[in-house]
Structure 1
């Protein structure tokens, strides 16, 4: 055997070894990817009639970009929370309405994405819609952004009510002119939900559920959502008309980080 052929064989052996190591490493990463506990479910498997518009899978949010951890536009919740929403949906359907969720379980990596964005004071691409009257340097102090979120515990959902039959909401076009989230309904970004007085994720005191400036039909819609959900064990966050947590939470002290994806759930729970 010549020196050249020996060298070639040695190189091929080295490459094969490197490929084997890479393959083993990839397999190990796949096996150790975080998964949801057994009692987390896709909301659609519990109630396929509840509408879903998962905003953080899209760029139409206060960051203006797809958020880390949202691999699919789907709602994942603990089973008790999902079943309670199913009961709420049955109540609302009899009245000609449907629930619509904007966000459900939120991985810690998504919360970390929010924190990084909030610390970058130069990035105000979506300010004109989502926080027109709030100085970005105050987002932590004013409680709009935090390093932990109850959503990561799996029993919190952001949601609204839609009058049936539901009309589709047009997709957001990045770069389109922005309108304040508290503007009159006909002026702000279109949403097929009933008028709640502000859009979802509006960083403004007008988004407080019982803000006295919100009256008439807008207040009635907020109270309909509130009473329907509270009768079934949900608790509202007073600063956000859309934010509800099912109590008692199965995981009151655990903040999960598995991705929002069908692969995070066992096949029977997708």
Structure 2
């Protein structure tokens, strides 16, 4: 640069130079991306099944023979691991990180672990440890999903139980229609009794629908039905309910006389807390509840859990 030019620049105020440089900057491009999953399906509900062995491994019934299997998977004490598509969000002190999910849910649905910080999950139909003996169709990730209304009501249940030192452990929530159809196929295969000793030793496989343990149209597919139990916030251990999740037998009913007083009291604590917040129990299964004012009473969804 010419010496006179250098002297001239030296005389210019710094603010003027800043204005000149700013004016030369190129505007940044804004990018917005979004995706959504579309619901599909048909169904109408009674109830279904699948059975908890984790509780069975540590909860034998006093007057009924219930199989115990120490190989049962243990419930996760934190949110499911992040999917390959995302990283875990940074956690605030004292709050567990919440994994980013791969896909956006249909409108009106939420991931439960994003609503209830203390939630634990043991999504049995994502594993092969269930009465079918294999992972069900549509369970691509071990996440618990519910309608927004059911999730908020369950959050209130969780807050109520926290005062008693209890948290919620979920076995199943929203269930795709395709998974229920898999129950139908399984029931027609008389040779497939691999999990009979664990989940339905006293029941003929052909009778599971007639007896009300499995339904051809599941309330779970409407997004406001949940299978759950409680656990100790202090120890992390599931509460003794007297029989395992998804055990097809009279001992699983609310009216059973086959469990002890402490186990009956534990069931009553969960039942009272759920009813207080608008959930209706299913008489044959102590773990099964449906939001009475569910938002999709006649709509059945079939989007994958991922």
Normalized against structure 1, the TM-score is what?
A: 0.74
1:32 positional shift: 6.9
Q: 1:152 aligns with which of 221, 226, 247?
A: 221
Separation in 2 of the partners of 1:70 and 1:48?
22
Separation in 2 of the partners of 1:225 and 1:32?
34
Change (3 A) 1:32 1:218: closer
Q: 1:242 aligns with which of 274, 282, 287?
A: 287
1:102 positional shift: 0.3
Structure number having the greater helix percentage? 1
Separation in 2 of the partners of 1:88 and 1:33?
27
8 Å Cα contact 1:54-1:74 kept in structure 2: yes
1:93 aligns with 2:162: yes
1:139 positional shift: 1.6
Separation in 2 of the partners of 1:238 and 1:194?
19
Structure 2 gap ranges (5+):
1-35, 41-103
8 Å Cα contact 2:39-2:106 kept in structure 1: no
Structure 1 gap ranges (5+):
1-29, 168-191, 262-270
Secondary structure in 1 aligned to 2:286?
coil
* CA-to-aligned-CA distance 1:26-76 (integer Å, 9 cap, x gap): xxxx98785853111111111121111111001110011111100110010
8 Å Cα contact 1:115-1:145 kept in structure 2: no
Deviates most, 192-201 or 217-226? 192-201
Secondary structure in 1 aligned to 2:285?
coil
Aligned to 2:201: 132
Note the 1:60-75 alignment, pairs <5 A.
60-75=129-144
Normalized against structure 2, the TM-score is what?
A: 0.65
8 Å Cα contact 2:144-2:174 kept in structure 1: yes
Change (3 A) 1:227 1:72: same
Aligned to 1:193: 238
1:210 aligns with 2:279: no
Q: 1:142 aligns with which of 211, 224, 229?
A: 211
The CA RMSD measured in Å over matched residues stands at 1.7
Secondary structure in 2 aligned to 1:84?
helix
Separation in 1 of the partners of 2:258 and 2:219?
28
Aligned to 2:187: 118
1:92 positional shift: 1.1
Which has the greater radius of gyration? 2
Separation in 2 of the partners of 1:136 and 1:80?
35
Q: 1:104 aligns with which of 173, 178, 184?
A: 173
Secondary structure in 2 aligned to 1:101?
strand
Secondary structure in 2 aligned to 1:85?
helix
* CA-to-aligned-CA distance 1:125-155 (integer Å, 9 cap, x gap): 0000100010112122212222110000000
* CA-to-aligned-CA distance 1:96-130 (integer Å, 9 cap, x gap): 11111100000000001111111101100000010
Aligned to 1:18: none
Change (3 A) 1:244 1:32: closer
Separation in 1 of the partners of 2:250 and 2:258?
10
* Equivalences, count: 208
Aligned to 1:4: none
The runs of at least 4 consecutive aligned structure 1 residues that moved more than 3 Å come to 30-37
Separation in 1 of the partners of 2:221 and 2:200?
23
